[in-house]
Structure 1
Amino acid sequence: MRGASGPQSVSSPVEPLRDVIARHGLSASKALGQNFLLDRQLLARIAAIPGLEAGDIVYEVGPGPGGLTRALLDTGARVVAVERDRRCIPALAELQHDHSGLQLVEADALEVDEVQATGGPAHVVANLPYNIGTALLLRWLDASWPPWWRSLTLMFQKEVAERIVAAPDTPAYGRLSIAAQWRCHARIAMNVNRSAFVPPPKITSAVVHITPAAQPEGVNPAILSKLTETAFGQRRKMLRSALKAMPGALAALEQCGIAPERRAETLAVSDFVALARLLS
């Protein structure tokens, strides 16, 4: 839950978010991976990334005091906000009172049925808690295809964001890169300096925007996942050593014309897709 911006009501002046936080006695919880984002203009820029239109459904995880929630509501979207920190519920309930387009779900995002919660295709926009961000992303990327989400606009630590969009033969390239890119388009939409948060984290953050694409035909996602897990599990080993325990993998390398002396990080996403297609 790292997101927040200046609150807004339909008929009253905007109350600075710092005042909302103070009035409710809130403080960011390190245990929950919280860092509050207060800059309303910055949050409006984040809310603009997915190109929301009036009536669109947005699924937000970890709204905290509700800053990003307000920026999303300003677009005319309907927001389903999932928050597990009971301390933040009163501030969100005030926002819900002023905005009929806000649905508040008090729950752990890892346990929510997103399809049931949203009731239709949704854009996911969230300043994700550091401690569950990658787990949630992998869960959403592993959805049945086409997925229930229309786009993912997510805040991560910059190093995680770089892994998501990494190209082959770079230090950041790995399983997460392939999971995000084999049937999606992924890009870093903006960087966010640590000074924008309260309290400031020790690292820079970045917002990643992901949109679904067509799934390559004949590829079993579970096979691709197993293939990348095996190939990158011993990253510095040649493929002939790393993949020898996976039935059919070495023969697939030969069929694809991939030299077994290469290492996993040198293969393009399309190479892994081709191997997985043969193994599927």
Structure 2
Amino acid sequence: MSTNTSIDGLPPLRDVIERHGLQAKKALGQNFLLDLNLTSKVARAAGDLSGVTVVEVGPGPGGLTRALLMNGAKRVVAIERDERCLAALAEVSAHYPGRLEIIPGDALKTDFTELAEGPIKIVANLPYNIGTELLVRWLTVADWPPFYESLTLMFQREVAERIVADPASSAYGRLGVLAGWRTQARIAFDVPPQAFTPPPKVTSSVVHLEPRKQPLPADVKILGRVTEAAFGQRRKMLRQSLKSLGGEKLLEAVGIDPTRRAETLSIEEFVSLAIAV
């Protein structure tokens, strides 16, 4: 039997889910975090929130939203496409007057640069089915330094390992190059499956990314094309996988052995290829 209030004075999340009929939908990639101590740990991983607007994607019943507000976020903008969750989020908004804005809609169709004036941090337990795509978009924005101060995001552990991977590791790929090129990324901590409702089959990880002020200069679109081609055929030698971009000629121009494979190249070497294309 649950008590009527939780550590923030609002009803426990299990009660909220039951009352609003918010069973997680697989089609929306939903797995809800119900432990407010754990969502507070995610909020704290983002650092000081007092002077910033926090943008959250996929708040669901509001577990992380509540933790962000409880941990001092000046303002939270929450983007939620599941209309079933809006009433529960409105209750959180009423509890924290003027500090929570709920935007109904699809994060993939949202212009994040328009959401706030002043500093932004993005903190989210991302829906599994759009997490990687959103991250790539945030890493490849045209203007750099970007519109956000940091990203604190929950992924499946396997995706998290790809984000922080070093060259020559089996997890190293396009995500590792893009994240390593423009940010300093680290895994903050892991979250076991049983922390979620419903529990996913895999462990999750919270990744914290801080933009580098001056990443190596390269055209972001061309670098994207180079990494896509190189890792799209990662078992092949670079002279073959990069054939459409100049192949052997391109590789020789920047002094890279054409028989090497994509996962052996450093981020600096990928940037030099992008400059030479």
Normalising by the residue count of structure 1, what TM-score does the alignment of the two structures yield? 0.92
TM alignment of 1:3-152, pairs within 5 A: 13-77=9-73, 78-99=75-96, 100-143=98-141, 144-152=143-151
In the other structure, the counterpart of 2:266 is 268
Query: Partners of 2:148 and 2:219 in 1: how far apart?
Result: 20
- Over aligned residues, Cα RMSD in angstroms? 1.6
Question: Residues 7 and 89 of structure 1: is their aligned pair in 2 closer, same or farther, counting only changes over 3 Å?
Answer: farther
Identity %: 57
Q: Is the contact between residue 7 and residue 67 of structure 1 (CA under 8 Å) also seen in structure 2?
A: no
In structure 1, give the amino acid aligned to 2:54: V
Normalising by the residue count of structure 2, what TM-score does the alignment of the two structures yield? 0.93
Q: Is the contact between residue 185 and residue 211 of structure 1 (CA under 8 Å) also seen in structure 2?
A: yes
Q: Which runs of 5+ in 2 are unaligned?
A: none
Query: Partners of 1:38 and 1:189 in 2: how far apart?
Result: 19
In the other structure, the counterpart of 1:3 is none
- Give the drift of 1:278: 2.5
Query: Partners of 1:127 and 1:118 in 2: how far apart?
Result: 20
In structure 2, give the amino acid aligned to 1:243: L
- Give the drift of 1:217: 4.9
- 2:248 corresponds to which of 245, 250, 259: 250
In structure 1, give the amino acid aligned to 2:203: T
Aligned residues: 270
TM alignment of 1:148-159, pairs within 5 A: 148-159=147-158
- Give the drift of 1:120: 3.1
Q: Is the contact between residue 228 and residue 272 of structure 1 (CA under 8 Å) also seen in structure 2?
A: yes
> Cα deviation per residue 1:133-170 (whole Å; 9 max; x = unaligned)?
11111111111211111111111111111111111111
Q: Is the contact between residue 34 and residue 197 of structure 2 (CA under 8 Å) also seen in structure 1?
A: yes
